[in-house]
Structure 1
Amino acid sequence: MRQEAIDADALYVLGDLFEFWIGDDDPSEFAQQIRDEFSTLTQKGVPCYFIQGNRDFLLGKKFCKKTGVTLLDEHTVIDLYGKPVLIMHGDTLCIEDIKYQQFRAKVHTSWIQKLFKTLPFFIRKRIVQKVQTDIRHDKGSKSLEIMDVTQSEVENVMIQADVTLLIHGHTHRPDIHEFQANGRDMQRIVLGDWYHQGSVLVCYPDKQDLQVRNFA
């Protein structure tokens, strides 16, 4: 954000920037640092866009107001140098992971989110820690295929959006997939995680470059 995005036309974050975002009122030094970095970038004239992931679906209007970040819909078509491109977090593509989709439906219920946000921050933190532990245990019992995207759903959303390029995250399996659907050549670019290395997609007017960044 300090050295590269400052020269970009725009910065897009496709969710799961945080291990878990407990709320826009997070008082931690880390949360404030992230808010400051986004504010600095937007104040220098670089538009920043954010799609909520399954780990930061509670990021909301207060965060955006403080930082200048624009929150996008979970399925958003952007104009990428003259080409329509669908960007999304990607968890809605994993339709074979039925248990996760049921969990997702619950936590995206508006009244549940409102109730959670009214709880004291320390209680929310404890709840999140319990949920994260449960999720880790649940993942350990699932196959990689179930947790990956369903190809038919990928094709459906791309055809509905009338695009030939989809960019998403969530699965944390960086790759570029090429296939055909509805008589057209399609491409799906997947971003990786940021645990042991960085993963960015640098877009140019004539190409996209999926890059891995080694941490010093």
Structure 2
Amino acid sequence: MTTLLIADLHLHPGAPEIADGFFNYIEHRAQHAETLYILGDFFDAWIGDDILDTPGMHPLAERVVASLSALSRQGTAVYLMHGNRDFLLGQRFADQCGATLLDEATVSEIGGQRYLMMHGDSLCTRDDAYMAFRAQARDPEWQAYILSLPIEQRLELAKTLRTESGDAISNKAEDIMDVTPVEVETIMAKHAVTTLIHGHTHRPDVHDLTVDGKPAKRYVLGDWRPDQGWDILITSGQAPQLRRFPLREPLSRD
């Protein structure tokens, strides 16, 4: 049994190296896995599933759908989670990919071990401005209003949000953009787990902590860049492995 987890690819047409690296990853690693989890920010922006209604409007997304649906058909279970950039990914997109949409915090049992999986943005509670935006962006009425706008207007809105996000990040203290330790311990205790896996912060690492008096671990996935990707490999009877790999070279089969 092999389970793979990835996050924060931020796929967009302006980063073809990352897109090619993802398709290489699917061909050489994911197709040999039992399960693939994509824990948010799969796309750098997603303006609605109807972007796929017009062939050729989003060639990259069409290629992603073809790749993941083929992966699903050959037997790999695919799971998708919303991130802070692609919170408008919908059931329609997931169905076309042959994937299952996951809730914000999902506990999965793999090889007899319980894992709490999250994108991770909800853990950054010290960033008051972002948490306010997050509450708005996850509001069903706000999402329905955005999705009612013409595609061209949504594309412009996505550009504006990306620019504003970049400007905001450049003016924030580093610790504010990281997870809040108390929030991590609280949600792990709530779900009765000793292992948490998330992305979002772009700070790949494995952290030791204590939850309800028990030793625990927090695995943080890295973001993908033109020269490298990150994943976590879980196999039966083995602890999760956080791995960095080059995108420009053939990937070995797990």
Query: Could you tell me how far 1:36 is from its partner in structure 2?
Result: 0.8
Equivalent position of 2:217 in the other structure: 187
Secondary structure of 1:128's partner? helix
Corresponding pairs, count = 216
Query: Could you tell me how far 1:15 is from its partner in structure 2?
Result: 0.2
| 1:36 aligned onto 2:66 | yes
Structure having greater relative contact order (Cα 8 Å, sep ≥ 6) = 2
TM-score of the two chains, using structure 1 as the length reference? 0.98
Equivalent position of 1:176 in the other structure: 206
Gaps of 5+ in 1: none
Query: Share of identical aligned residues, percent?
Result: 40
Query: Could you tell me how far 1:82 is from its partner in structure 2?
Result: 0.5
Deviation sequence 1:103-146 (CA, Å, 0-9, x none): 00011111111111111111100011011111111111101100
| 1:208 aligned onto 2:233 | no
Q: Spell out the pairing of 1:121-132 with structure 2 (5 A cutoff).
A: 121-132=151-162
TM-score of the two chains, using structure 2 as the length reference? 0.83
In 1, Cα distance between the equivalents of 2:243 and 2:110?
18
Secondary structure of 1:158's partner? helix
Secondary structure of 2:145's partner? helix
Secondary structure of 2:153's partner? helix
Equivalent position of 1:70 in the other structure: 100
Deviation sequence 1:11-51 (CA, Å, 0-9, x none): 00000111111111223101101111111101111110011
State whether residues 194 and 211 of structure 2, in contact with CA within 8 Å, keep that contact through their aligned partners in structure 1: no
Aligned amino acid, residue 119 of structure 1: L
In 2, Cα distance between the equivalents of 1:110 and 1:181?
33
Equivalent position of 1:143 in the other structure: 173
State whether residues 41 and 82 of structure 2, in contact with CA within 8 Å, keep that contact through their aligned partners in structure 1: yes
Gaps of 5+ in 2: 1-25, 52-56, 249-254
| 1:199 aligned onto 2:230 | yes
In 2, Cα distance between the equivalents of 1:30 and 1:181?
41
* Aligned partner of 1:8 among 33, 37, 41: 33
Secondary structure of 1:142's partner? coil
Deviation sequence 1:181-216 (CA, Å, 0-9, x none): 221001000000012320100111122111111121
Equivalent position of 2:77 in the other structure: 47
Structure 1: 4+ residue segments shifted above 6 A: none
